Chain A
C-alpha cells in the first residue's frame, strides 16, 4: 500500500483532517486534494489551536466520522463537533478557511476556556489559499483575479454541477 498504510491500520491525523474537512465543506477528498492545501491547512490548524488541542479535536472527529459512517448519517459529527462548545468554534473557522482561504479568529468565549495563540488573528493564509477558496467553485465562478475562464465565458449561461 502507498504510504505504508493498510486498510486496517488506523488513519493518520492528516487523513482524519481530510475526512473531517470533506464532511465540513461538502467537497470530496479528491476535490480538496486538488487544491494542494490539505497539508497547509492541517499545519494552520495545529499552529493556531496548538498540537495538543488539535489532537483532541481530530480524535473526536475520527470517532464521530466512524460512527456516522456506520449509521449513514451525521448525528455524531453534529453532537461531538458542531454542537461542542470546545470544538464548534474551531470547526467554524476551519470551514471559513477552506471556503475563503483566510483564517478568522476564534471567539472570546472560546479563548476564555482554551486560551489563544499569537497566530489566531485574521489573515490570508497565502495567495494560493485565496485562489483555491472553495466559495468560488460553489458559486460556479472562479476566484476574482485568478484562473480566468477565457474570453467571452461570462456571456455563456452559468453552470453548477447538478449532482449535489
Chain B
C-alpha cells in the first residue's frame, strides 16, 4: 500500500472542493510569510474533460442518449456508481416499516417516499448538470427558529455570510444579474438594501453590482409579466387569515456568462478554449449539459488550478507555487482516525482505492495530510463518515437530509410564447419566499420554465406521439403539413411552473449504511429514509391554489388533458406515480430538485451539530466537512451559491491554519 503526504487532501472533485482549493491556494500565498501548500483532490468518478474537443464528446453522448436525464451525458463505473432519476421507485411499506426497499439503482430507498434527486460522480460534480440558479438565502432563512419557531437557527447570519456571497458571485462562479430586478419579500421596493455591499473596497459606497449583466428574461417571462405583474394571489391560513401575495416576475441571478458590468471583470469561458462560452448562446440545455460552457461548472476552477499550480517541483528560476494534484477514479473507502465514541480525536489518514475498469483489480492506497476536507456531496460525505465511525458524537451525521420537493403545474397558453428557447429558467416569482405564514407552512420559490412541457410531459417527444399516433390501430393520425402546423400551434405555447418547497430538517430523514448494500468496490451504498413533514405538505395545497389563481389570470384555468390540445390547465397527478404524495385527500406529484442538503449540519453546539460555522468537525481537529450537507436549513434558494460562500469561508480558515505547512 503506497503512502504519501500532502498539506491538504480534499475528497471530492466538485464545486465545494474546487472552491476550497482555490481559496486556500490564493489566501495562503497572500499570508505573511507566504505559504504554498501541496494539495491533493481525490475524485471518485472519471476525469470528465479538460479540453473543449473532449467536452464535445459528452455533448454528443447527450444527443445520442435515448432518455435525456441529467446524468445521461456522464457515464459512471460500477466502482463509483451514481444515482439516476430513472431508478426512482417506491419502496413497499407496511405502515411505517419498510417491507421491500427500492434498491434498483445506487440508492437503497427505505421510504416511505423515495428521495427524488440525483447527483453526478464525475470530475466537476453536479455542476456539470446544474441549472445555474444563484439566489442568495434571505435573512430570515438563517434564523428560522428565532423568527418562526421552525427548524433551527444557523450559527451565521445573512450579514456575516454576505462578504462570502460577494466573493462566490465574483471570484468563483461568475453570476449574471441586475440588483434592481430582485424583488424579494422584505426588500421588494429596495433590493439595493438587501445587496448593500459588505466589501466597500471593491464596491465604494456599498452599491453592489454583479460581475455580469442579467441574462435577458425570456419572451415567456415578458408575456407573463404583462398579464400577471401586480395581480394578487390570496391564500387562506388555517385560522382563516387571508394572506395576500402580489406577483412580480423577477429575473433570476444565474451562473451564466453575459456582458461584464465592468471592464476589469474577466469572463471565464470553456476549459481549454477560453474563446468559447464567453456568453450564453441559448443552447436550451443547461441541464444535462451546456455545450458552450457558458454556464459555470467546477471544471473551470479545477482547470485553472491544475494549469496555474501543476503538481511538480519548480524548475530552476521559477517562483515557488502551490501544487494541486487531481486524481480521478480514486474512491475514499475510509477516514482513519483516533476518535473513540464520545471523545475527540484526529484523522490519521485516508484509505482509498483506485480502479481501472480495464480488467485489472483496483489498487489500494493510503494518504496522509496536515488537514483533511470531505467535499464529496452531502450524501457521499455522510456515507463515508458513517462507514468510518467518524465525527459523529452528535449522532447527527446522515440526519436532516433535505431537498426542495417540487410541485409542477403546467398549461397550454392562449398565445405562442416561443417555448423551448433559452436557458431552462430566466425568471421566477419570489413573493412566496418569506412571510409570517412560515410559522404554519413552508415557504416556496416559483421557477418559470422556458422548455415547455419537457419536464412534466416529456415534450416534445410525447407531443409528437400524441399527434402522430400509432399504438393499437397503427395508423397515423396526423401527418404532412397538418402535423407540422399543429405542432407549431402546440409546442411553443406549452408552459410549466415549478413550485419548489422549502423542506425542514427532520432527524428521521437520513442517510444510513448497511453492510448488506455495497458497490463493486465494496464501498457502502447510501441507504435513505425519506418523507415529507406535515409542515412541508401543508404548502402543497397552497402552491396548487396559487397556480390555479395564476392560470385563471392567464386565461387557461379550464382543465384539459392530453391528447387533446386546447388552451387550459393540464396539471394532473396520477396516484400510482412513484412521486405521488397524499395530503388532505388530494394527490400531488412531488419531484426532487437535485438539491441534496443536510446530513452534517453546522452549529455552535457539538451535541446537536456535526461541524461549526467554518465547517470544521467538532470531533476531529484536522477535519473539515464541507458542502450543502453543512446547511442546517435550506430556505428557498438553490443551495449551490450558499455552499460556495461557505466553502470560501472555510478556505480562508484553512489557509490561516496552515501555519508552517507548505513552502
Instruction: List chain A positions with a Cβ less than 8 A from chain B.
Output: 23-27, 74, 82-83, 85, 88-89, 91-93, 95-96, 99-100, 102, 104, 107, 109-110, 122-124, 126-127, 130-131, 134-136, 138-146, 148-158, 160, 164
Q: Are A24 and B479 also in contact (CB < 8 A) when A96-B464, A138-B484, A145-B283 are?
A: yes
Instruction: List which B281-324 residues lie within 8 A (CB) of chain A.
Output: 281-285, 289, 291-292
In the complex, what distance in Å separates the CA atom of A110 from the CA atom of B454? 30
In the bound complex, residues from chain B placing their C-beta under 8 Å from that of A146 are: 59, 63, 283, 291
Q: Are A127 and B63 also in contact (CB < 8 A) when A138-B487, A148-B292 are?
A: yes
Q: Which of B160-168, B213-221, B633-641 contacts A (4 or more CB under 8 A)?
A: B213-221
In the bound complex, residues from chain B placing their C-beta under 8 Å from that of A26 are: 479-485
B474, A85: Cβ atoms closer than 8 Å: yes
In the complex, what distance in Å separates the CA atom of A140 from the CA atom of B487? 9
B479, A96: Cβ atoms closer than 8 Å: no
- B201 interfacial contact with A, CB 8 Å: no
A160, B416: Cβ atoms closer than 8 Å: yes
B64, A124: Cβ atoms closer than 8 Å: yes
A107, B216: Cβ atoms closer than 8 Å: no
- B93 interfacial contact with A, CB 8 Å: no
Number of interface residues of B (CB under 8 A): 61
In the assembled complex, the CB of A151 is this many whole angstroms from the nearest CB of chain B, namely: 5
A-B contact pairs, 29 of them (CB 8 A): A25-B479, A82-B476, A85-B474, A88-B476, A91-B479, A92-B474, A95-B479, A96-B465, A100-B464, A102-B66, A107-B474, A122-B66, A124-B63, A127-B60, A127-B63, A130-B63, A139-B419, A140-B488, A140-B491, A141-B418, A141-B491, A143-B63, A145-B63, A146-B291, A148-B282, A148-B291, A158-B416, A160-B416, A160-B492
Given contacts A130-B64, A135-B463, 18 further A-B contacts (CB under 8 A): A82-B479, A96-B468, A124-B66, A130-B63, A135-B460, A138-B483, A138-B484, A138-B488, A140-B491, A142-B282, A144-B454, A145-B63, A146-B283, A146-B291, A155-B216, A160-B492, A164-B484, A164-B485
B470, A107: Cβ atoms closer than 8 Å: yes
A151, B479: Cβ atoms closer than 8 Å: no
In the bound complex, residues from chain B placing their C-beta under 8 Å from that of A74 are: 480
Instruction: List chain B positions with a Cβ less than 8 A from chain A.
Output: 59-60, 62-66, 68, 216-219, 222, 258, 279-285, 289, 291-292, 416-423, 426, 450-452, 454, 460-461, 463-465, 468-472, 474-476, 479-485, 487-488, 491-492
Measured CB to CB, the nearest residue on chain B to A106 is B474
In the assembled complex, the CB of A123 is this many whole angstroms from the nearest CB of chain B, namely: 7
In the bound complex, residues from chain B placing their C-beta under 8 Å from that of A154 are: 216, 218-219, 282, 284, 418, 421-423, 426, 450
In the bound complex, residues from chain A placing their C-beta under 8 Å from that of B60 are: 127
A157, B418: Cβ atoms closer than 8 Å: yes
In the assembled complex, the CB of B499 is this many whole angstroms from the nearest CB of chain A, namely: 23
A140, B479: Cβ atoms closer than 8 Å: no
In the complex, what distance in Å separates the CA atom of A138 from the CA atom of B222? 23
A95, B476: Cβ atoms closer than 8 Å: yes
Measured CB to CB, the nearest residue on chain A to B285 is A145
Closest 5 CB pairs of A and B: A154-B422, A158-B418, A145-B285, A26-B484, A148-B281
In the bound complex, residues from chain A placing their C-beta under 8 Å from that of B472 are: 107, 109
In the complex, what distance in Å separates the CA atom of A156 from the CA atom of B282? 12
A164, B416: Cβ atoms closer than 8 Å: no
In the bound complex, residues from chain B placing their C-beta under 8 Å from that of A95 are: 468, 476, 479, 483
In the assembled complex, the CB of A71 is this many whole angstroms from the nearest CB of chain B, namely: 16
Q: Are A100 and B461 also in contact (CB < 8 A) when A24-B479, A145-B62, A160-B492 are?
A: yes
In the complex, what distance in Å separates the CA atom of A155 from the CA atom of B217? 6
In the assembled complex, the CB of A137 is this many whole angstroms from the nearest CB of chain B, namely: 8
A89, B485: Cβ atoms closer than 8 Å: no
In the bound complex, residues from chain A placing their C-beta under 8 Å from that of B480 are: 23-26, 74
In the bound complex, residues from chain A placing their C-beta under 8 Å from that of B423 are: 154
A135 touches which one: B291, B426, B470, B487 (CB < 8 A)?
B487
In the complex, what distance in Å separates the CA atom of A31 from the CA atom of B221? 32
A153, B421: Cβ atoms closer than 8 Å: yes
In the bound complex, residues from chain B placing their C-beta under 8 Å from that of A160 are: 416, 488, 492
In the bound complex, residues from chain B placing their C-beta under 8 Å from that of A142 are: 282, 284, 420-421
In the bound complex, residues from chain A placing their C-beta under 8 Å from that of B476 are: 24, 82, 88, 91-92, 95
Measured CB to CB, the nearest residue on chain A to B422 is A154
B474, A139: Cβ atoms closer than 8 Å: no
In the bound complex, residues from chain A placing their C-beta under 8 Å from that of B422 are: 153-155
Measured CB to CB, the nearest residue on chain A to B222 is A155
In the bound complex, residues from chain A placing their C-beta under 8 Å from that of B420 are: 136, 139, 141-142, 144
Measured CB to CB, the nearest residue on chain A to B284 is A144
B474, A88: Cβ atoms closer than 8 Å: yes
In the bound complex, residues from chain A placing their C-beta under 8 Å from that of B451 are: 144
Q: Are A151 and B219 also in contact (CB < 8 A) when A127-B60, A141-B419, A146-B63 are?
A: no
In the bound complex, residues from chain B placing their C-beta under 8 Å from that of A164 are: 481, 484-485, 488
B470, A93: Cβ atoms closer than 8 Å: yes
Measured CB to CB, the nearest residue on chain A to B494 is A139
In the assembled complex, the CB of B249 is this many whole angstroms from the nearest CB of chain A, namely: 13
A151, B488: Cβ atoms closer than 8 Å: no
In the complex, what distance in Å separates the CA atom of A125 from the CA atom of B397? 46
In the bound complex, residues from chain A placing their C-beta under 8 Å from that of B216 are: 151-152, 154-155
A151, B491: Cβ atoms closer than 8 Å: no
Q: Are A149 and B282 also in contact (CB < 8 A) when A92-B474, A100-B464, A124-B66 are?
A: yes
A27, B484: Cβ atoms closer than 8 Å: yes
In the complex, what distance in Å separates the CA atom of A83 from the CA atom of B62? 36
In the assembled complex, the CB of A6 is this many whole angstroms from the nearest CB of chain B, namely: 29
A89, B64: Cβ atoms closer than 8 Å: no
Measured CB to CB, the nearest residue on chain A to B485 is A164
In the assembled complex, the CB of A24 is this many whole angstroms from the nearest CB of chain B, namely: 5
In the complex, what distance in Å separates the CA atom of A107 from the CA atom of B473? 9
B421 touches which one: A110, A127, A135, A141 (CB < 8 A)?
A141
In the bound complex, residues from chain A placing their C-beta under 8 Å from that of B482 are: 26
B284, A145: Cβ atoms closer than 8 Å: yes
A88, B475: Cβ atoms closer than 8 Å: yes
In the complex, what distance in Å separates the CA atom of A157 from the CA atom of B221? 11
